[in-house]
Amino acid sequence: MPTTAAHNDKTFKWSLPTHFNFAGDVVDRWAEDAERLALICVDATGAETRWTYAEIAKRSAQLAHLLAKQGLKQGDRVIVMLPRIVEWQIAMTAVLRLGAVPIPCITMLTPKDIAYRVQHAQAVGAITRSVDAEKFSGLDTVTVRVAVGDATENWALFDESLKEPSSFAPAQTKIEDSAILYYTSGSTGAPKGVTHAARALWAWSNSAIHWLGLNEHERIWCTADTGWSKAGTSILFGPWSQGASVLFYDGPFDPAKRLELLAKYEITCFCAAATELRQLVLQDFSGVSLPKLRATVSAGESVNPEVIHRWKALTGTTVLDGYGQTETLMTVTNRPGWPVKPGSMGRALPGVETAVRTSDGQAATTAARGELMIGLPNPQVMLGYWDDEARTAASTIEIDGRKWFPTGDNVEIDAEGYIFYTGRADDIINSSGYRIGPQEVENALSEHPAVQECAVAGIPDDERGELVKAWIILKAGYVAGDELAAELQQHTKTATAPYKYPRAIEFVSDLPKTVTGKIRRNVLRESGKK
Coil, strand or helix at 240: helix
In whole angstroms, what separates CA 6 from the centre of its chain?
A: 26
With contact defined as beta carbons under 8 Å apart, do 299 and 275 qualify? no
Nearest 5 degrees, angle CA 67-CA 191-CA 513? 175
Report the percentage of the chain scoring pLDDT > 70: 96
Q: 3-state secondary structure string, 339-368? A: CCCCCCCEEECCCCCEEEECCCCCEECCCE
Q: 3-state secondary structure string, 34-86? A: CCCEEEEEEECCCCEEEEEHHHHHHHHHHHHHHHHHCCCCCCCEEEEECCCCH
Q: What is the pLDDT of residue 496?
A: 85
Structure confidence by residue, pLDDT tens digits, 32-51: 999 999 999 999 999 999 99
Mean local confidence (pLDDT), 320-346 = 93
pLDDT, greater one: 446 or 473: 473
Q: What is the pLDDT of residue 495?
A: 86
With contact defined as beta carbons under 8 Å apart, do 124 and 67 qualify? no
| Cα(18)–Cα(16) distance, integer angstroms | 7
* Closest of 130, 62, 129, 128 to residue 98, by C-alpha: 62
**CA 396 vs CA 134, 187, 383, 507: distances in Å:** 40, 18, 11, 40
Structure confidence by residue, pLDDT tens digits, 423-444: 766 677 888 878 787 877 887 8
Coil, strand or helix at 379: coil
pTM, two decimal places? 0.84
| Cα(345)–Cα(333) distance, integer angstroms | 6
CA count, 13 A, side-chain hemisphere, 306: 5
With contact defined as beta carbons under 8 Å apart, do 40 and 246 qualify? yes
Give the DSSP H or E segment for 313: helix 305-315
For residue 1, pLDDT beyond 60: no
* Closest of 494, 500, 425 to residue 468, by C-alpha: 500
* Closest of 421, 238, 227, 410 to residue 321, by C-alpha: 421
Average pLDDT, the chain: 92
| Cα(335)–Cα(341) distance, integer angstroms | 11
The residues pairing with 505 across neighbouring beta strands, listed in sequence order, are: 470
Coil, strand or helix at 234: helix
For residue 186, pLDDT beyond 60: no
CB atoms within 10 A of CB 500: 23
**CA 225 vs CA 221, 249, 250, 290, 361: distances in Å:** 12, 10, 10, 24, 37
Coil, strand or helix at 180: strand
Report the percentage of the chain scoring pLDDT > 90: 77
Mean local confidence (pLDDT), 105-114 = 94
